[in-house]
Amino acid sequence: MGAVEGKVAFVTGAARGQGRSHAVRLAAEGADVIAVDLCAPVASAAAPAATLDDLDETVRLVEAAGGRIVARVADVRDHEAMTAAVAEGAEAFGTVDIVVANAGISTVDGLFTCTPEVWRETIDVNLTGVFNTLVAGVGPMVAAGAGGSVVLVSSIMGLRAAGGIPAYTAAKHGVVGLMRSAAHDLAPHRIRVNSVHPGNVRTPMIDNPGMHALFRPDLAAPTLDDMAAGLATINLLPEPWVEPEDVTEAVLWLASDAARFVTGVTLPVDLGATVK
């Protein structure tokens, strides 16, 4: 029997990277999956956007893992779209038991170059989008009265800070505040709320020209490998990054009954970066 057998999981940003990893593993452990992704560019994002083909590949991988999936293109900034996705998935599978608010963007605009447009877009996706996902998912959970688990994906920049990314850092700190407040509000309904804090994860969020240039401004066309030594200096353990599957292990644990008495915690998956 899988760790989340018979559960229904709502996962945002599921077309690739961490979101895809979470969706596929939850399916392999017995969950039905409601997967959403924007599959379109966000102007402020440093990384290229996921595509509809990416989302289709997530569907294929979930089904190959033995799971059922409802996948939809939707924007986490659109509260009605999140509510509609949950309702459509619930019609197919039943009430949501697990929410994984994973969708987000990386931005690399410093304090003196971050325009009001970049600030708003980053906060809208990385914080308001998490709020919309949370509220859309837990409404039916509360009504069903069977409890549940919510995992909000923040970042090490929700627990510490660095220069050069004020909007991203502010949004990810905001996710922690939202998590802690929601943990209080939802505890009487036996719904647990926690946050996961990845360090650098080997996905397009760090493997893109903007991030390459941020870490290696001395090179004309740096690559991910050129960043590796610099990234490793951030961490206690001598590695430059974790894989999406490493974050998924934390998400799965928090979603499962193995963490049935765990709520209100910030769980880093960061090679020790937050304590260095």
Q: Which two tokens stand for residue 97?
A: 């038991």
- Residue 114's SS3 state is coil
Q: Are 149 and 255 in contact (CB under 8 A)?
A: yes
Cα atoms in the Cβ-side hemisphere of radius 13 Å centred on 246: 15
- Residue 119's SS3 state is helix
Amino acid code (one letter) for 121:
E
**Closest-CA residue to 164 (of 96, 204, 211):** 211
Residue 105 to residues 32, 143, 148, 257, Cα–Cα distance (Å): 26, 31, 26, 30
Q: Are 128 and 70 in contact (CB under 8 A)?
A: no
Q: Is 187 one of the annotated active-site residues of the chain?
A: no
**What's phi and psi for 8, nearest 5 deg?**
-120, 125
Q: Which two tokens stand for residue 73?
A: 């293109």
Give first-to-last CA distance, the chain, whole Å.
39
**Packed helices 116-123 and 166-186: angle between N→C axes, nearest 10 degrees:** 30
Tally Cβ neighbours within 10 Å of residue 89: 27
**Closest-CA residue to 248 (of 65, 123, 73):** 65
What are the residues whose beta carbons fall under 8 Å from the beta carbon of 188, sequence distance 6 or more? none
**Which of 10, 93, 131, 168 is flagged as catalytic?**
168
Active site residues: 168
